[in-house]
Amino acid sequence: MTGPILVLILGVVFLGERLSLLQAIGFILAVSVPILLIDRFEHSRQKDLAKGIRYLLVSTAMIGGGTVLAKMAMSEGGDVFTFSAIAYFVTIVGTGLMHVNASGTERRETPWIDVFFIGVIAGVCQFLGFIMLLLAYQDGPMSIAYAINSTYILIPIVLSIWFYGEHWSVRKLVAIALSCLAVVLLR
C-alpha cells in the first residue's frame, strides 16, 4: 500500500503526473487491497511483525526511488535493455557483496542445483517483468503503471491457496475482486 502511494506522490511532485477520476478511484481500490489482507488472525502467523514492517518501509523507500529513476530514464528515451542490464548488474554485485559478508550464516537445506534451477527461472521471470514495467513507464504515467504492477500480489495469493492449501477467506476473495476492478479502472 505504501509503495503505490509514495510513487504517486513522487510522480505528481517530480513528473507532473495527474490521474483522471476513474484512475483515482482505481488507485484507491488498488491501495486498499493490502489493508483487506491484514486481519488479527494474520498477526498470529507472523514471527516478528515489527521487524517485517521496518523492512517493508525501507524497501518501499528504496523501490519508490528506483521507480522514479526508471521512469526518468525511460522518459528521456533511455534504452530499456541497457537500463535493465545496468540495474541487474548492480543487483548482482550487491548480492555478491552481501553474500561475502554473510558467509556461513545461511542455512542451506535445499540442494545447490535446485536453488540454481529455481533461481534461473525466477530470474528470467523477474527480468521479463522488469522489461515490461520499463516499457509501461515509457508509454504512460509511472503512478498508474506502478499501481497496476502492485496488484501482482494476487498471483501469489491464488497460487498459495491452490498449491499450498493456505487458508482463504471472504476478505481474500474481496481483495482479489477489488484488485481486478482497480486494474480495469486504472487503464
Residue 110 DSSP code: S
The closest of 126, 129, 117, 147 to 17, measured between CA atoms, is: 147
Question: How many domains is the chain partitioned into structurally?
Answer: 1
Q: With respect to residue 57, please indicate whether it lies within any of the assigned structural domains.
A: yes
Q: With respect to residue 172, please indicate whether it lies within any of the assigned structural domains.
A: yes
Q: With respect to residue 102, please indicate whether it lies within any of the assigned structural domains.
A: no
Residue 177 DSSP code: H
Q: With respect to residue 154, please indicate whether it lies within any of the assigned structural domains.
A: yes
What's the confidence (pLDDT) of residue 107? 59
Q: Residue 37 belongs to what domain range?
A: 2-78+110-186
Q: With respect to residue 44, please indicate whether it lies within any of the assigned structural domains.
A: yes
Q: What is the pTM of this model?
A: 0.68
pLDDT tens digits along 82-109 = 999 999 899 888 887 887 776 555 556 6
Q: With respect to residue 53, please indicate whether it lies within any of the assigned structural domains.
A: yes
Q: What's at 15, amino acid-wise? A: L
pLDDT tens digits along 103-114 = 555 556 667 777
Ranges of residues in the chain whose predicted pLDDT is under 70 = 1-2, 38-46, 102-110, 187
Q: With respect to residue 100, please indicate whether it lies within any of the assigned structural domains.
A: no
Q: With respect to residue 129, please indicate whether it lies within any of the assigned structural domains.
A: yes
